[in-house]
Structure 1
Amino acid sequence: MPLSHAESRQLLHLRDIAIRGYLRADGLVDIEAHMKDTKTYSFGNHDRGRINAGEALHGMGLRLTIDDKLTVVRAEAAMDDTPHAICPGVAPNFAALAGLTIGKGFLKGAMERVGGTAGCTHLRELLQQVATTAIQTMFSIRAHKAAREGGTTEDRWDIPSALLNSCHAYNEQGPLVAKVRARAEERRREAEAAAE
């Protein structure tokens, strides 16, 4: 169902976010996010003088390289367009995300490393979406592997514990979790029968 009809309005601010998940030739995964903020009008800026309509106010990138256990093995940030000349100075700090594992506690751990003055609000805001994209990318990798092995992802997929009770669909007492658990139990019984 789409949003309700919007009233007459004027567009002032655009934030475009693109996040992509890539399987690398070495088996690692890159999750790459790019964020760009623009205005539909020109305005003055104490560091840049003037920022013209359509010119990037914020133009930033974040890449996390993860392994198959969702552990960050490398992290980097780039800040090509910022409102303040001092902003890019924190980009190297995002390398400190290496060693964290995407799952429960990931955002808390990230805030401990790049929170407050050690980081950038805009790059930190990308971390939630980057984590979700990492999980979706890993799902895609497993789906391709299952297809190569002659099965389907649905046959082999179990709900990760980190997703339980994270939303309506993954309610631990709900129908989706019950269905997935029943399928997993059926697979377990079939494997036991085949082993006999």
Structure 2
Amino acid sequence: MSNVSRTPVHHRKIDIHSFLREDGLWDLEATLVDVKAYDFTKANNTVMKAGDAVHDMTICITVTEDGEVVAAKASYAAAPYAEVCFSIQEAYQQLVGLHLLKGFRQKVKERFAKTQGCTHMSELTILLPTVFVQSLSKKRNQRNEDLGKRPFQLEGCHALRLDSDAVKEFYPKWYSSHSNDLMNELQ
């Protein structure tokens, strides 16, 4: 944080929820809301008041436990160009058939590049794979433990290197003080 005096200008809030449905599928619902901290007049002379949503959009996808998208719905409560922006909603049904854990982000970038999508909706959509992984982590770790396999998140980031203090404390069974030496030898 800065020690210098600051004036608020723009606020973006992203809110993502996952839901396990009674039919065994998962809903991932992400909302993005942008507001300005000042009043401004749009080109059509409409005045946007400070705090009014410039963008308010939601993407909801339904996925199998494996990660395949079986349904998708994009919706807007607010967008700067109203109906023109809203008209892209149906395009996001092209997410159906994609797999969250198999090149999803790249495929979203390709399918919704430039004028084929909404920049903000696509940015929101590419956040969904990590939320899905977090949603399934308990179940996935239990399955790995039952099979004698190490937790999937180990070696996934610097804090969870096999030779880290975090692994030593929270996953002592998988701790190895020589992890980096072994990794270097394997490369």
Matched, 1:129 2:127: yes
For 1:132 and 1:120, locate their aligned partners in 2 and report how far apart those are by CA, in whole Å: 21
Q: Which of 27, 30, 35 lines up with 1:38 in the alignment?
A: 35
Matches within 5 A, 1:148-163: 155-156=145-146, 158-160=150-152
Shift of 1:166: 5.4
Tell me: CA distance 1:47–1:67, structure 2 relative to 1, closer, same or farther (3 Å).
farther
SS in 1 for 2:101: coil
Q: Which residue of 1 aligns with 2:66?
A: 69
Matches within 5 A, 1:32-181: 32-47=29-44, 49-85=46-82, 86-140=84-138, 142=139, 155-156=145-146, 158-160=150-152, 167-169=157-159, 175=164, 176=167
Deviation track 1:133-153 (CA, whole Å, cap 9, x = no partner) reads 11111124x17xx8xxxxx57
Normalised by the size of structure 1, how large is the TM-score?
0.74
Gaps of 5+ in 2: 175-187
SS in 2 for 1:53: coil
Gaps of 5+ in 1: 147-151, 184-196
For 1:107 and 1:5, locate their aligned partners in 2 and report how far apart those are by CA, in whole Å: 33
Tell me: CA distance 1:75–1:174, structure 2 relative to 1, closer, same or farther (3 Å).
farther
For 2:48 and 2:64, locate their aligned partners in 1 and report how far apart those are by CA, in whole Å: 40
Mean Cα deviation higher: 29-38 or 40-49: 40-49
Deviation track 1:97-139 (CA, whole Å, cap 9, x = no partner) reads 1111112411111122222211111111112322211111112
Normalised by the size of structure 2, how large is the TM-score?
0.77
The amino acid of 1:167's aligned partner reads C
Q: Which residue of 2 aligns with 1:189?
A: none
Tell me: CA distance 1:73–1:165, structure 2 relative to 1, closer, same or farther (3 Å).
same
SS in 2 for 1:33: strand
For 1:46 and 1:120, locate their aligned partners in 2 and report how far apart those are by CA, in whole Å: 20
SS in 2 for 1:112: helix
Mean Cα deviation higher: 48-57 or 11-20: 48-57
Shift of 1:72: 0.8
For 1:39 and 1:46, locate their aligned partners in 2 and report how far apart those are by CA, in whole Å: 16
For 1:48 and 1:109, locate their aligned partners in 2 and report how far apart those are by CA, in whole Å: 38
Q: Would you say how many aligned residue pairs link Structure 1 and Structure 2? A: 168
For 2:33 and 2:63, locate their aligned partners in 1 and report how far apart those are by CA, in whole Å: 24
For 1:28 and 1:139, locate their aligned partners in 2 and report how far apart those are by CA, in whole Å: 16
Shift of 1:21: 0.6
